[in-house]
Amino acid sequence: MEMMEKDLPQPVYDLTEEQENKEIVRRYRSLLRVLKPKLKTGDKQLVRTAFEMSVEAHKTMRRKSGEPYIFHPLAVAMICVEEIGLGVRSTICALLHDTVEDTDTTLEDIQREFGAEITRIIDGLTKIATVVDNNTTQQAENFKKILLTLTDDPRVILIKLADRLHNMRTLDSMKREKQLKVSSETVYVYAPLAHRMGLYMLKTEMEDLAMKYLEPDMYRTIAKKLSETKRERTRYINEFIKPVKEKLDKGDFEYEIYGRPKSIHSIWNKMKKKNVEFEEVYDLFAIRIIVNAPQELEKEACWKIYSFVTDMYSPAPERLRDWLSNPKSNGYEALHTTVMGPQGKWVEVQIRSRRMNEIAEKGLAAHWKYKEGGDEEDRFDKWFSQIKEALGGEDISSIDFLQDFKTSFLAEEIYVYTPKGDVKMLPVGSTALDFAFSIHSAIGSKCIGAKVNHKLVPIGHKLRSGDQIEIITSNKQKPTEDWLPLTVTAKAKNRIKDVLKDEKRKVGEEGKQLLEKKLQSMGTKLSQYNLDELVTYYKLPSPLDLYYKIAIKQLDLKELKEFEVRADKLELIRVKKEEVEKAEALLQKTDIKKDTELIIFGESSDKIAYSLANCCKPIPGDDVFGFVTTGKGLTIHRTNCPNATKLLSSHGHRVVKTKWAKNKEISFLTGLKLTGLDDVGVIHKITNLISGELRINISAITVEAKEGIFEGNIKIFVHDKEELDLLFQKLRELPGIQSVQRYDLDA
């Protein structure tokens, strides 16, 4: 999927009213065309009613680009049908998905026209949307709500993904900070969710589009290189495919074979992970072979084709992925192998049947289409019931929940075996303890160890695909706080937390009584208001933690002298201003200067106090955003900082748009990592270039040479990114230097 064309500036919107109406009708007819095979008697009229309702409801509304708003629901409906493979009811819901939230249309109106099922889905979509735009609520809470509605009807999440994809495709007309926030949420939760629903095409496009806004320079560089090497890659693919085709033709298979480039985002991930340049990413493209075979003969056909390919090209055995024998829980089935192609290049080959291919591209919707009536509970249903269980845990903080959800449900999977040989799917990183809880909560709670492949291991032992596990239990065992870091699945974490909470509750009773006595002596009582004030003051997650810490003497009630009682309510004697408000108030001040100046484009364009984030050490010229930090004012992060996506997606309302002002007076510390051939005088050449030619100050330098290769870490002071880029370019030109990279200095 080449994406250069998506990088072009969007055309300015300038249609007349008459042209606009024609365009709306044209788009509606296109939607009906793709929906045609799924229309039954009466469906066309229902879709028309939904369309007319949506046009009427949104008639005065415009998108940021100037287009009529109805373009958006039409586009979302089109994605639902064409790219996700959903049907008539989902189309109606997509057309109406914003009406209840944004217009005067009510759920009762929809119920009257379309009945209960459609109303329930739109209600789910509305619940999600009302939380998304409420800046005071954290995004994590929103995701939790999305997942609660997902378990009622998965179409809610599929329509939500279509909505998000269209928003990403039209993000150009949004402000920069909105682009960062939406892209971060997309890459943090929506793309992994699309992946987990089996929608690989959607996931890939979402990641690429997010990268276009989060790391525009790298996105453009890779897109340009992909475009430049297109002809040469096509030639190579044809050379690779030719002998495979000849063999398949002789074998009398009905098949398709083609090459497709890796997505920009996945190439960038490989470059980062393996620390290599674009040219060294060895499998820049994958060859896909899709065979048409009856369902009972699919596996056999795929393995036959695999043997043809590996007869001709030598495979890397450790790169074989067999999802035929054990499909992923989102229904994905395929054989992946990496083989050594002509000219010494590695090529990934994916082999699957037409049915498997449809499931890989349309995910959940295609999965339902092929679902057989059988005894075995469907893998998808298992996944949904696990999420329901995870959501069942009361008062899990949303941020914790989001973290657990990502590790538990959005991770890649491993498959392991019980002593009887039953298969269990678990997320990558799962331990023996996770396995124990996946069998039964009671077994997990009593687990003291395990035997993995007949060898004794501790409860925290990490499992690998293919392991066979037997759990050892003891009635004397019970969960402790130390167990939490040893688990990744939401089920295990929630059960452990529940047990710990019960323990805490028992101990906490004593703390509650002590607090009640103390408040009585101050002339007030333990009201909900006072409790909230104290929990906030002590920075604790819940009242239970407050009682518990008082009971175990970790909190000293003497500190209550910081409060005075006013009309039966506790108030802090100190100025009771939220720290976040203080930080935001700083943004309005004009007379503060510190270090280099940063221009803030927001309510005011004044220069304000700020600090640079230790996690990514930005320098002038870096693409940055400001983040209002409780108690610290404004912190500046690079947009590609390791913590950026989490901050932007979980606390988007605290983001401030920031841009550097030019200032050549002040230097900033940054780090370089170099690798190359350990040649005589190579260090001298490097230091000469940095200090002598470019007059850049070196703060520290460490070099290690091993078996003819050296690795160097250099800390230098630069004025801005331009100076750093010039240094990179000059260093790369030195003979023997293999790679030069910026690295984040430790705090």
Biggest CA–CA distance in the chain, Å, is 93
Gap between the Cα atoms of 209 and 206, Å rounded? 5
Gap between the Cα atoms of 217 and 623, Å rounded? 10
Could you tell me which of 712, 711, 636 has the C-alpha nearest to residue 668? 636
Could you tell me which of 360, 364, 342, 362 has the C-alpha nearest to residue 350? 360
* Residue at 397: amino acid letter: S
Gap between the Cα atoms of 286 and 237, Å rounded? 9
Percent of the chain that is helix, strand, coil (3-state, to 5)? 50, 15, 30
Could you tell me which of 207, 172, 214 has the C-alpha nearest to residue 9? 172
Question: Three-class SS of residue 567?
Answer: coil
Burial of residue 586 (number of CB atoms within 10 Å: 0-12, 13-18, 19+): middle
Q: Determine which one of 7, 20, 23, 101 is catalytic.
A: 101
* Residue at 721: amino acid letter: K
Strand partners, 626: 636, 656
Strand partners, 62: 68
Gap between the Cα atoms of 2 and 230, Å rounded? 9
- Structure tokens that stand for 145 in this block: 């709500």
Buried b (16+ CB within 10 A) or exposed e, 315-349: eeeeeeebbbeebbbbbbbbbbbbbebeeeeebbb
Does the annotation mark 56 as catalytic?
A: no
Residue 520 is inside which H or E element, if any? helix 490-522
Does the annotation mark 481 as catalytic?
A: no
Backbone angles phi, psi at 740, to 5 degrees: -130, 130
Q: In this structure, what is the dihedral angle of CA atoms 36, 39, 41, 42, given to the nearest 10 degrees?
A: -100
Could you tell me which of 152, 104, 85 has the C-alpha nearest to residue 125? 152
The residues, ordered by sequence, that sit 6+ positions from 448 with a Cβ below 8 Å of its Cβ are: 459, 472, 473, 474, 477
Gap between the Cα atoms of 599 and 352, Å rounded? 54
N-term to C-term CA, the chain: 39
Q: Please count the CA atoms within 13 angstroms of the CA of 203 that sit on its side-chain side.
A: 19
In contact, 319 and 352? CB cutoff 8 Å: no
In contact, 644 and 637? CB cutoff 8 Å: yes
Gap between the Cα atoms of 220 and 84, Å rounded? 28
- Structure tokens that stand for 705 in this block: 């040479």
Gap between the Cα atoms of 186 and 206, Å rounded? 7
Strand partners, 471: 450
The radius of gyration computed from the CA coordinates of the chain, to the nearest angstrom, equals 29
In contact, 351 and 306? CB cutoff 8 Å: yes
In contact, 733 and 676? CB cutoff 8 Å: no
How crowded is residue 256: how many other Cβ atoms within 10 Å of its Cβ? 11
Residue 115 is inside which H or E element, if any? none
Could you tell me which of 355, 225, 345, 327 has the C-alpha nearest to residue 277? 225
Gap between the Cα atoms of 559 and 562, Å rounded? 6
Q: Determine which one of 102, 361, 470, 606 is catalytic.
A: 102
Backbone angles phi, psi at 457, to 5 degrees: -135, 160
Gap between the Cα atoms of 377 and 374, Å rounded? 8
What positions carry a catalytic annotation?
A: 101-102
